[in-house]
Amino acid sequence: MTLHFAGKKILVGALALSLVAGSGLAAPVNVHAAALSTPFTDISSGHWAEKHVAKLALQGIITGYASGSTYVFKPNQSVSQQEAVLMALRFAGLDDQVDDDAIIGFPNNFTVNNYYKPYILLAFSLGLLDQQEEYANAAKDAKVSWGTKPASREWVTKLMIRAIDKEDEAERLKDAASSFADAGQIDGKYKGYVNAASELELVKGVTAEKFDPKANVTRASLATLFSRAQKLYPVEYVGQTDGILTKLTDTAVTLYSEGKETTYTVDADTLYYHYDSEKAITKQQLIEYGDASVIAKDGKALYVEVKGETQHVKSTSGTLDRVIAGENKIYVWINNEPIPFYYTDSTAIVDSEGKPLSLGDLQRDTPISIVQDTFRDNPATIKIVAAPASTPTMAKGTFYGTVGDTITIMEGTSLVSKFLADSVTVEIDGMAGATTADLLKEADQVELSLNATGEVTKIKVTNRNVKVLAGAQIAAFLYDKKLLTIVDASGLNAQALYFTDKTRIDYNGSSITLASASSMLTQNRKVVVSYTGNTIVSLQFVTGYTGTLTSINGSTSQLTVKLDSGAEVTLPYQNAGIEINGITSASLTDLKIGDTLTLGLTSTQDRIASIKVHSLTQYEVVSVDAINKKLRIKNATTPLFELSVLSTQLLNEAGATLTVNQIAPGAIVNATYVGKQTTVVRVVNVTQGKVTSVTGSGVAIADMTGKSVTYGEGAGFIVYKGTAQGTSTSLLTVGDYVEVVKTENGKTQFTAAVAESRIFTSFNAADSQIWTEKTTSSDNRNYFNVTNSTKYTQNGSAITLQSLKSGDVILIYGFRNNALEIVKQ
């Protein structure tokens, strides 16, 4: 008789996986709270069973062994048949039915430790074990005690299927073909149970094609089996609560369950997992207002698991009518009716780009969206999203001065002061990198751009034109009069110019004083001079030039570059060395109009000695050597290599400086080269996901964790889809897999994954890679990395990886050999 108790919930306190008093074995010691963040020292980060062992330890289902002041789990130790039966009974909440006073008589060849005998008898009576079958098994192997015999993978699989009342599935699948290549080694009486466990995703092969049915079950394997079974057999555990995450902060998570919210503290020891993955995730990957399970003790969350992809929220759009702050209420016009919505102090108020706003920023008739939860009887307002603020206003006048964080201008006959924003751009025609220090009091006419709060974000000088002479030669310099006489590059035009206290003097990238520069202002020396009227704005000593290649004249052996200042420099290039990253022996034919070049000059400053081309290449970081300051990187066309970043500037996408150990394996970086020297490595934020909506001004995607992300127009779009390229979102369609990055000029770049047709051959579980047939003899891209986020589908329905067979035609959507979805044809 098979027992029937599916759906029953059991309150579990502390179940021991391996040892109990009277077992004849050394009893392991329970893990103390101080060790709970990393329960066992022999289960390291990345261990294949890490999630399941951590979860069951925190639920109190499994325990470890004391090892000095720490604890070990012994994941590879075999589990005996009698221990496995006891655990199955405890998992099902049936061990309390045991009759310790029963008189038990087993056949002589069916030997079991005395402690376990009542449990084995109970398992027989409930149908958890087939008595006649186990007696027969014992008789076949009389030299080994049935109880202490290591439990095999196929035997434990049958035990678990019966424990969770899924024997009907085993019966249905007993004649079904197995996905495992070694299915012939599975005993016929276990075949249906193995098929059922595989279909229910309770067990997996030791590889994609091998089940290894006769192998002993280890502690790690059994912990994984019980953990996976929880999704089919609901069990309640002390300290565990299921609900909806309603708030995430740096130090706490809040869970809504059974009509109330509970806040749990979190710290560096809190573990985070996703129901669809066996690898740890970060707190940032939790889904706010999504389903979650929290295991806590003394108010601290020890384990948080994402239980679904859906955010339980709804959005209502309309036009703001008015705010009644005294009642925490706003009215929104929806379908010509003013509808009230109530808010609280925790309600977030933001613009469409996510920037925080205050209630005072909300203006009548502003388009607005109200985001509310959907799980309370009275939905709470979570977020108020307002349309972007109106375009900045302007102020015009004569520059009068700056003091601290204010600027003053003369408007007509009145002085007007404005606060400066944290970041202010100064534009002076012909002058790169201008700052407020370059403004001339009571001379410059300026236009001030103001943001929504009235702060100055840009200052544009409208009446001044700074001219630049590149390659000018010094004719004479009088220090006492601060007078410099120069001749332009043609040698036909001379000018007398004066230094002032505001003149910037640059030597090899460093600013120096006029006194320090005076000894170098010698006759015939070449300099770059920026001036307005007869005043020198800046002077740069020339050791080389960096600019954009505008022309190459083969007949005169000269090339011309345009500097950032707008000035052009033409110089002969005979015998100049040319250096380009990725080209072993570069020549003049490798240069392209528009390339950014750094030109090194000869000692006479009149010829080019070296030409270094600036280039940018994107790589994937495979590993990081923080000690030697090296990155191991690769891309689709470049094999894995080591890049030394000892003297390279490391930046994040926002431009903040990083250390090498802050760059994580798997990161995407842009490496900037000057010639073959890497000067900058910038980490690029990359988001991958599936397009959920497309408009002319925005694209929404669901990222690979299920979180919705919306990209507004901002600085514009760049879209790549196959061979098509454009700036319109119309190239994208709902359902496209895309990779999203920000370009150097702030544009949002979408690259759509194009299906790649391949023929499946095998799966390597150790490396999490699928392998396909080569398309050519030189094809070295016939493998694809898969993760727990990779989707497998056929005809629009989800399938499992195990359903793929050698020879199957598949379509692969992904990037850089990382598969996002695999579609079986």
**Domain identity same for 406 and 510:** no
196 belongs to a structural domain? no
Q: How far apart are CA 670 and CA 686, in angstroms?
A: 12
Produce one character per residue of 351-369: b if its CB has 16 or more CB atoms within 10 Å, e if not. Answer: beeeeebeeeebeeeeebe
Cβ-based burial of 44 (10 A; exposed 0-12, middle 13-18, buried ≥19): exposed
Taking alpha carbons only, the member of 502, 506, 514 closest to residue 441 is 502
**Domain identity same for 329 and 438:** no
- The CB-based long-range contact list for 490-499 (8 Å cut-off, 24+ gap) reads 495/469, 495/531, 495/534, 496/534, 497/529, 497/531, 497/534, 497/535, 497/536, 498/534, 498/535, 498/536, 499/536, 499/539
**Domain identity same for 714 and 674:** no
How many other β-carbons are positioned within 10 Å of the β-carbon of residue 619? 23
Q: Report the domain count for the chain.
A: 8
**Which tokens hold the place of 686?**
């990359």
**Domain identity same for 527 and 676:** no
600 belongs to a structural domain? no
| Phi-psi label, residue 714: left if phi above 0, alpha if psi -120 to 50, beta otherwise | left
552 belongs to a structural domain? no
277 belongs to a structural domain? yes
Of 700, 717, 752, at which residue does a domain stop? 752
**Which tokens hold the place of 824?**
């079986």
Q: How far apart are CA 690 and CA 753, in angstroms?
A: 10
**Domain identity same for 145 and 277:** no
Q: How far apart are CA 264 and CA 300, in angstroms?
A: 5
**Domain identity same for 105 and 224:** yes
593 belongs to a structural domain? no
The residue whose two tokens read 């700056």 is 402
585 belongs to a structural domain? no
439 belongs to a structural domain? yes
**Domain identity same for 18 and 121:** yes
594 belongs to a structural domain? no
Instruction: Give me the CATH number covering residue 670.
Output: 2.40.50
User: Helix, strand, or coil here: 655?
Assistant: coil
**Domain identity same for 355 and 402:** no
**Domain identity same for 461 and 471:** no
Q: Model pTM?
A: 0.44
Taking alpha carbons only, the member of 770, 787, 215 closest to residue 205 is 215
Of 667, 684, 701, at which residue does a domain stop? 684
**Domain identity same for 26 and 122:** yes
pLDDT at 6: 33
Instruction: Give me the CATH number covering residue 693.
Output: 2.40.50.140
**Which tokens hold the place of 756?**
């790649």
283 with 306: CB under 8 angstroms? no
Query: 334 pairs with which residues across the strands?
Result: 337
**Which tokens hold the place of 172?**
């249905």
Q: How far is CA 726 from CA 693, 696, 757, in A?
A: 18, 13, 25
How many other β-carbons are positioned within 10 Å of the β-carbon of residue 656? 10
**Domain identity same for 83 and 42:** yes
Of 188, 205, 229, at which residue does a domain stop? 229
**Residue 267 structural domain:** 240-296
**Which tokens hold the place of 249?**
């902060």
pLDDT at 133: 93
Q: How high is the mean pLDDT in each 10-residue block of the chain (825 residues)?
A: 36 33 32 46 84 85 82 91 88 82 89 94 93 93 92 92 89 88 89 90 72 90 84 76 92 92 92 87 91 94 92 91 86 90 88 81 85 89 79 80 88 87 86 83 87 85 83 93 92 92 85 92 90 88 90 94 85 93 91 93 86 90 89 86 92 82 87 93 89 87 84 83 87 92 77 92 87 88 88 89 91 89 93
26 with 64: CB under 8 angstroms? no
Q: How far apart are CA 155 and CA 777, in angstroms?
A: 45
**Domain identity same for 223 and 77:** yes
Q: How far apart are CA 372 and CA 384, in angstroms?
A: 9
pLDDT at 34: 34
pLDDT at 30: 39
